[in-house]
Amino acid sequence: MKTLFTSIIALILLLGYKANPTREISGTIVSASDGLALPGTTVKSLPSKTSVSSDKNGKYKIVIPSTDTHLQVMNLGFVTKKITIGKTDVINIKLDEDNQALKELVVVGYGKQQKRMHKSADMKMVAPPVAEALAGRVVGISANKSIMATGNGAHFYQAPQNTENYAHITENAFKKVTNEPLSTFSIDVDAASYSNMRRFINNGGLPPKDAVRIEEMINYFDYSYAQPKGDDPVNIVTEIGTAPWNSQHRLVHIGLKAKNIPTEKLPPSNLVFLIDVSGSMESYNKLPLLVSSLRLLTDNLRDQDKVAIVVYAGSSGLVLPSTSGDNKQAIKEALSKLSAGGSTAGGAGIKLAYKVATENFIKGGNNRIILATDGDFNVGASSDGDMQTLIEEKRKSGVFLTVLGFGMGNYKDSKMEVLANKGNGNYAYIDNISEARKVLINEFGGTLFTVAKDVKLQIEFNPAKVQAYRLIGYENRLLNNEDFNDDKKDAGEMGAGHTVTALYEIIPVGVESKFIKSVDALKYQDVRQNALKNSPSSNNTNEILTVKMRYKQPDGDSSKLLQKPVIDSYQDKLNKTSDNFRFSASVAMFGMLLRQSEFVQESTFEQAIALADGAKGTDKEGYRAEYVKLAKSAQLMAKDLRNFATTGKEK
């Protein structure tokens, strides 16, 4: 009898057992006031916290545990809505405007600032083409005030306080060669500024000036430079042509190409994922995107690679000890269990990550921390100075640093740039999963495997050929001339397959320019200046400049010098220059326009677009084509915002 009873109970349990089932909910999200689609709306399923965002048509699709009971729907400028999940799998949602947030609007365009009060019904103040083209998207942003266009007009609302932080940039000016014949700087392979700029434009606004670092925009793209030959891991290429924005000036294009290394021949990796799981990382474009990005990287790991996971919030901790790349499931499971909450003890997390990386150090391998965060440190070492000191100390361990930035609103770009610069590493901003694929898969070797460290450039200009020069970008990478030969001075790193591009605008001898400022005649320097002008080394050569480069091996302490003299020969017809030259010139021009540079001269959006459109080359991944679309969007925004700010109406 007892056996029969046990069997019946077992049968009941077996019949009642169900695997953890899921269900798919889908629908469309629109504004209750006008019925227009709301793209970019966050849909979070509770209590599992599974989340997705609606597409450009306001449609969403989310796979959730069947035990979830509610959907939480959030969109900036609209009242957050909590919906009970019933039996239907199709849930269409209408969001009401947050009337408390429809307040004062301030728009700052190109030119003077003007302040006006608006009501949401005052539709005459917004350019109709913008309202139609960018329905439901933010089209103008200044500080924390925004204007949202919809098909029926524009809604004005007060956005949450924006605490994003960018280091101030003072643009490089022209320097007279007779006074300063040398220009010295550290190379920069970071590309965060470009993808961050793209985020602003895709969200319907222009980026702040200081968010635009022109060298990072240029170096976002790969260029078809020749591979290095011989034992040196880097090759130097040069080209000179007419500056597109001033036909009297010339543009010097300097390119560096690091040697390609097939993935299977790369040394084994000892990686530590250092992940910010503080409360500020909860939104869909932070921790969820971060986890998806690192899962992509995990899929690309080899058996000889290993990964540990360290997290930090109110305190730091080891989530996953160093685990072989052949156990991808364990790595992915550890990533999937992460959730956001608490304050941000960034300093403690970094210390623990370096400790773990050092304990698992692979001699001759790639030892690297991948820090993924929004940069909003607020507990422990948090100031840029404190973090810089910490990183400078820890980099002596031989562990490199890659910084991946996520999110918006409280994004701390300046802090993350310092970390990457001082930690022998690189810095990328991940605004979507496609960017994660570019950085962590397509550019796997360049992002994670250093082939040359402390790479510095020093350019010497010939005063018989050049009156003045200006380095475009690299403002935060400038070095003293004596730093070039100082092997203790830190500089940038190049990864396998990386390209680096630098542009100089030069004013040839004999060309009059408003950028060359006059000073009173010097009483004691005439002899030196005359000697310089008449020296055999400057007059009896056809060289316009010499490029010098220093680099160290990844595990070395002594630098090696490479030199390349450049002949005074240039192409005066832009259409005869290389795709590399024209495309990089277009990006530089676009950057100057976004920065409203005093050196913009005859630059126009039209010319920047035309230059790039004719220089896309093979563009296998479509990055250059995407840039052209961004430039066209920025052109429309700049025009409408300028007209709105100065006249209050469309022209």
**pLDDT at position 145 over 70:** no
Query: Who's near 467: CB < 8 A, 6+ residues apart?
Result: 176, 177, 506, 507, 508, 509, 510, 511, 513, 516
**Neighbouring C-alpha atoms within 13 Å toward the C-beta of 91:** 24
Q: How confident is the model at residue 385 (pLDDT cuts 50, 70, 90)?
A: low
DSSP state at residue 381? S
pLDDT band at 417 (very low <50, low <70, confident <90, very high): confident
**Is the pTM above the cut of 0.95?**
no
Residues 206 and 609: their CA atoms lie apart, in Å, by 17
Give the bridge partners for 545, in sequence order.
461, 566
All CATH 3.40.50.410 domain ranges of the chain, comma separated, are 263-448
Evaluate whether 640 touches 139 at the Cβ level (below 8 Å): yes
- The phi, psi pair for 580, rounded to 5°, reads -55, -45
Is the per-residue pLDDT at 17 higher than 50?
no
Nearest Cα to Cα of residue 605 among 201, 328, 280? 201
- Taking residues 175-194, what's their average pLDDT? 95
CATH topology of domain 263-448: Rossmann fold (3.40.50)
The pLDDT tens digits of the residues spanning 115-142 come to: 333 333 333 333 333 333 333 333 333 3
- Is it the case that residue 262 has pLDDT exceeding 80? yes
| Per-residue DSSP letter, 320 | E
14-18, 98-102, 222-226, 521-525: range with highest mean pLDDT:
222-226
Higher model confidence: residue 213 or residue 109? 213
pLDDT tens sequence across 153-162: 444 434 456 7
Q: pLDDT exceeding 70 applies to what percent of the chain?
A: 80
Among 646, 238, 267, 596, residue whose Cα is nearest residue 448: 267
Please enumerate in sequence order all residues whose Cβ is within 8 A of that of 18, keeping only pairs 6 or more positions apart, or say none: none
pLDDT tens-digit readout, 436-472: 999 999 888 888 899 999 999 999 999 999 999 999 9
Predicted confidence band at 37 (pLDDT cuts at 50, 70, 90)?
confident
User: Is 230 within 8 Å of 585 (Cβ atoms)?
Assistant: no
| Cβ-Cβ contacts under 8 Å for 428 (sequence gap 6 or more) | 190, 191, 192, 195, 402, 403, 404, 405, 435, 439, 447
Is the pLDDT assigned to residue 342 strictly greater than 50? yes
Q: Which residue is it, tokens 């430079």?
A: 225
What is the torsion angle, in degrees rounded to the nearest 10, for the CA atoms of residue 522, residue 528, residue 533 and residue 536?
180
Least confident of 105-114, 288-297, 355-364, 598-607: 105-114
Cα dihedral 274→276→282→285 (10° resolution) = -60
Q: Is the dihedral of CA 323, 329, 332, 334 positive or negative?
A: negative
- The span from the CA of 648 to the CA of 104, in Å, is 15
pLDDT per residue as tens digits for the range 609-632: 999 999 999 999 999 999 999 999
CATH homologous superfamily for the domain 19-95 = Carboxypeptidase-like, regulatory domain (2.60.40.1120)
CATH 2.60.40.1120 in the chain is located at 19-95
Assigned CATH class of 175-261+452-516+534-615: mainly beta
Question: What is the per-residue pLDDT for 529?
Answer: 52
Residues paired with 275 in a beta bridge:
311, 372
d(CA 480, CA 483): 5
> How many angstroms separate the CA atoms of 149 and 557, rounded?
56
Residue predicted with more confidence, 398 or 600: 600
Mean pLDDT of the chain: 83
**Phi and psi angles of residue 453, each rounded to the nearest 5 degrees, phi first:** -115, 165
Integer angstrom CA distances of residue 364 from 266, 357, 447: 11, 14, 17
CA distance 453 to 395: 12
Closest CA to 190 of 373, 368, 385, 439: 439
